[in-house]
Amino acid sequence: DLSGSITTPDVKLNLGGEFIKESTATTFLRQRGYGWLLEVEDDVPEDNKPLLEELDIDLKDIYYKIRCVLMPMPSLGFNRQVVRDNPDFWGPLAVVLFFSMISLYGQFKVVSWIITIWIFGSLTIFLLARVLGGEVAYGQVLGVIGYSLLPLIVIAPVLLVVGSFEVVSTLIKLFGVFWAAYSAASLLVGEEFKTKKPLLIYPIFLLYIYFLSLYTGV
């Protein structure tokens, strides 16, 4: 039989100018090469970025693109190509959701239907553009089609006022559709299409007629 006692070694650590006595377990682990178990990592400060920056939302950029779509005349001096060349997702999604909300009329299922038409309608325009030889990405088409719903949103409150006047209401609807289609087509239909422009402008025009029909209930 073995008998005896182990005395605790007097080991001290220098932490911030103060000496702290180590326990037997701590010393044992360090002697056996397991000191790394006792190491405590410094707390890494959390990245306190703003929420909009985390989600990659640039409100100034979205506002500028909205102005480019609502005022598509080249004489106004806007760099309208930024809507196509620098596509984003949140701006068009907000426009589509807002258009869906004013199109409800008590039918919440129309929201998902409008979003579906936006996604697959943009996909159709994208595929047609690629077949015709256009150099455009799906994200660019998705952004342009979404932003170009803004004219239909602008005419919505006007239709509520003049809804009882059928002729005036029809003219405003045609104006809104032409406005939206022109904004989208002027960005998507480039010089690379040459004589094939009508083949892309026509389905864009039909797409916005369908969007308007979802709002007016035609």
Q: Are strands 12-15 and 18-21 parallel, antiparallel or unpaired?
A: antiparallel
Under the banding of pLDDT at 50, 70 and 90, the label for residue 123 is very high
Higher pLDDT, 194 or 131: 131
Residue 76 domain flag: yes
Q: Tell me what the mean pLDDT of segment 69-97 comes to.
A: 82
- Return the top range by mean pLDDT from 31-40, 53-62, 204-213: 204-213
| Nearest in space to 100 (alpha carbons), one of 217, 211, 204, 218 | 211
32-46, 74-88, 161-175: which range is least confident on average?
32-46
Q: Tally the domains of the chain.
A: 1
Supply the range of the domain harboring residue 149. Answer: 59-216
**pLDDT of 15:** 46
Under the banding of pLDDT at 50, 70 and 90, the label for residue 208 is very high
Residue 21 domain flag: no
Residue 171 domain flag: yes
> How far is 138 from 135, CA to CA, in rounded Å?
10
Q: How far separated are the first and last CA of the chain, in Å rounded?
A: 100
Contact 186, 80 (CB under 8 A): yes
Q: Tell me what the mean pLDDT of segment 154-164 comes to.
A: 81
Q: Tell me what the mean pLDDT of segment 138-155 comes to.
A: 90
The model's pTM is 0.69
Q: Is 51 exposed, middle or buried (0-12, 13-18, 19+ CB in 10 A)?
A: exposed
**pLDDT of 6:** 53
Residue 108 domain flag: yes
Under the banding of pLDDT at 50, 70 and 90, the label for residue 194 is low
Residue 188 domain flag: yes
| Stated length of the chain | 218
Higher pLDDT, 211 or 50: 211
Residue 16 domain flag: no
Q: Is 141 exposed, middle or buried (0-12, 13-18, 19+ CB in 10 A)?
A: buried
> How far is 177 from 198, CA to CA, in rounded Å?
16
Residue 47 domain flag: no
> How far is 118 from 121, CA to CA, in rounded Å?
5
Q: What are phi and psi of 34, to 5 degrees?
A: -105, 25
Residue 129 domain flag: yes
Whether the predicted pLDDT of 2 surpasses 70: no
Q: What angle do CA 80, 83, 89 make, to 5 degrees?
A: 165
Whether the predicted pLDDT of 176 surpasses 60: yes
**pLDDT of 124:** 92
Percentage of the chain with pLDDT > 90?
A: 11
Find how far residue 9's CA is from the centre of its chain: 63
What beta strand segments (E) does the chain contain? 12-15, 18-21
Lookup result for tokens 């932490």:
15
3-state SS assignment for residue 179: helix
